[in-house]
Amino acid sequence: MSIAYKDRMTTISHLDKELAIPLYHQLKCTLIEAIDSGQWQSDQQLPNETKLAENFGVSKITVRQALQELADLGYVRREQGRGTFVSKPKLDHGPRELASFTEEMRRHRRVASSRVIESFETEANDRVAEALRLRLNEPVFTLKRLRMADGEPLGIQTAYIPLALAPDLAGDDLGNVSLYEHLRTKYGLQPSRARETYFSVPAEPAAAELLGIPSGAPVFAVERVTFLPRGKPFEFVESIMRGDRYSIILELMAKPVRGTGHDLHR
């Protein structure tokens, strides 16, 4: 064990074997505190199970269970033959204002960038026509981009825009720009609201290679339809977002029960 590691460990609280709380849970919470406080940084390797067991005076089985729960929660990643490393914090994707990827990354203090994979004019198929309320085969512009934060690939997004609303879009430079901002300033298309649908799928080989993750790794498949103020859809986006870098947070409100004293205006 290095001196630097010993110095860091002196600031971490000891486990209390007299408590009714299981030791693995105490250890898990202690390690979470160390990670959240910055004592261990992203991508930093944790001491091995033997060293952790020695330092905290517990068995390796206890350490193994704590590390597994940390991995399940996304705090660490365990690499076969290499060890356990602190994971990069996930980007919370929860209730918020309608924003572009660029704006979303700015809120997380990350620098957004994009690489255009392909862009072309085509005809709306059944799926795109239904989402955008177009006639079948009506012309649309397709933009597929790899979205990155601080140079790290986070997702692949394919946007479909009716050419009737943005006729010159195929000739515009859309590499490292906010598409919403571009559509707003050049074409007067102001997003008012959007509807998103999420589901989990395994990453296909081509997408996995672009995102730098194993083929078959879990990813979020996201479909978004964005509407103008008068309710007309102007954008349909299909996204594949890394499951290890995104989390979804929902705030749920309990419905007041009549007759319990919570219904103050009865």
Strand partners, 202: 218
pLDDT at 22: 84
Q: What are phi and psi of 199, to 5 degrees?
A: -155, 155
Residue 87, both tokens: 């994971």
For tokens 């979020």, name the residue. Answer: 220
Q: CATH class for domain 3-86?
A: mainly alpha
Instruction: Fill in the amino acid letter for 38.
Output: G
Q: How many residues does the chain have?
A: 266
Residue 226 region by backbone torsions, left for phi larger than 0, else alpha for psi between -120 and 50, else beta: beta
Q: Helix or strand or coil: residue 141?
A: strand
| CA distance linking residue 6 with residue 186, whole number of Å | 58
pLDDT at 193: 87
Residue 8 Cα distances to 14, 20, 34, 37, angstroms: 13, 27, 9, 11
| CA distance linking residue 195 with residue 140, whole number of Å | 20
Per-residue pLDDT of the chain (266 residues; tens, 9 = 90+): 222 333 344 344 567 777 777 888 888 878 877 877 778 888 889 999 999 999 888 999 999 998 987 887 677 888 888 889 988 765 444 444 455 555 665 665 667 778 899 999 999 999 999 999 999 999 999 999 998 888 888 899 999 999 988 888 888 888 777 888 888 888 888 888 888 888 889 999 999 999 998 999 889 899 999 998 778 899 999 999 888 776 666 666 676 666 554 444 44
Q: Are 102 and 178 in contact (CB under 8 A)?
A: yes
Domain with CATH 1.10.10.10 in the chain: 3-86
* CATH code matching the domain that covers 91-248, chosen among 3.10.20.600, 3.40.1410.10, 2.60.120.560, 3.30.70.600: 3.40.1410.10
Domain with CATH 3.40.1410.10 in the chain: 91-248
pLDDT at 145: 92
